[in-house]
C-alpha cells in the first residue's frame, strides 16, 4: 500500500513510519524538516506544513491512506480534516490522545482532578478533534488513542485493544509504547476494523 504520514519525524510518527516500511509498504513521510525523518528503505521523505491545507492535501493525494501524527495544540482541526477530505484518500487515520478516553461512563480522563496540567490543553484539543470527526459525513476516518502513559519502549506485538474506555493493566497502570502503538496502527491500516470510530491500545 501507499501510505502518507504527516508528522513522520515525531516520536509516534517515526515509529509508525518504520513499522509500515518494515512491512513493505511504500511510505511518504512528511515533516517541516524532512532531514529529521529516519532514512529507511521504502520511505520517501518530503517537506510539508500541516497548517497548509492545500499543500498537505496535494501531498496526501494518490495514497491508499493518510496518517495524521500531529500535535493538536499548534495545528488546526478544520485544516487537517479539510486536507484529508480534499486529498481524496480512501482512509484517514489520526494519532489521538488518551485524554478523551472514559474512566467512568461519560467521564473523560482529561476531566479528573489529578490530570497533569502540562498535558491538559493538548488533551482537550484532542477530544475536540475526535468530536469533530464524529460529525464528519465524508471522510472514512479512524482515531487511535494510546493509553495514559505513551512513551518509548519495545516492540512486543502483544497488547489489548479497546474502544472508548481507558485500558488499565493488572497493576493499575495504563500504558503503551510508541513501538506497539505503531503495530496497532499498521494492523488497522492493513485490516480495517474501526471504520468511522475511535479505538485504543494498551497493555
Low-confidence ranges of the chain (pLDDT < 50): none
Q: pLDDT digits over 120-159, tens only?
A: 999 999 999 999 999 999 899 999 999 999 999 999 999 9
* Residues whose CB is less than 8 angstroms from the CB of residue 30 and which lie 6 or more positions away in sequence, other chains included: 4, 5, 6, 7, 8, 46, 47, 48, 50, 56, 59
Question: What DSSP designation does 167 have?
Answer: P
Strands (E) across 7-91 are located at 26-31, 43-47, 65-68
For the chain, give percent helix, strand, coil, nearest 5.
35, 25, 40
Contact 184, 19 (CB under 8 A): no
pLDDT in the model for residue 100: 98
Whole-prediction pTM:
0.96
Angle at 10 between CA 109 and CA 173, to 5 degrees: 35
pLDDT in the model for residue 68: 98
CA distance 42 to 50: 22
Amino acid at each position: 500500500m501507499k501510505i502518507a504520514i504527516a508528522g513522520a519525524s515525531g516520536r509516534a510518527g517515526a515509529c509508525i513510519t518504520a513499522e509500515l516500511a518494515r512491512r513493505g509498504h511504500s511510505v511518504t513521510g512528511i515533516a517541516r524538516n524532512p532531514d529529521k525523518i529516519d532514512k529507511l528503505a521504502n520511505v520517501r521523505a518530503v517537506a510539508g506544513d500541516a497548517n497548509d491545507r492545500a499543500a498537505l492535501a496535494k501531498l496526501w493525494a494518490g495514497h491508499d491512506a493518510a496518517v495524521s501524527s500531529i500535535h493538536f495544540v499548534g495545528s488546526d482541526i478544520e485544516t487537517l480534516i479539510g486536507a484529508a477530505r480534499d486529498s481524496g484518500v480512501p482512509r484517514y487515520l489520526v494519532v489521538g490522545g488518551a485524554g478523551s478516553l472514559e474512566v467512568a461512563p461519560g467521564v473523560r480522563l482529561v476531566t479528573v482532578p489529578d490530570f497533569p496540567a502540562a498535558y491538559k490543553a493538548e488533551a482537550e484539543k484532542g477530544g475536540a478533534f475526535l468530536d469533530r470527526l464524529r460529525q464528519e459525513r465524508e471522510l472514512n476516518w479512524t482515531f487511535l488513542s494510546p493509553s495514559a502513559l505513551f512513551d518509548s519502549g519495545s516492540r512486543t506485538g502483544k497488547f489489548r485493544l479497546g474502544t472508548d474506555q481507558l485500558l488499565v493493566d493488572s497493576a493499575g497502570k495504563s500504558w503503551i509504547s510508541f513501538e506497539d502503538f505503531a503495530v496497532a496502527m499498521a494492523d488497522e491500516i492493513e485490516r480495517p476494523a474501526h471504520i468511522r470510530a475511535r479505538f485504543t491500545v494498551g497493555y
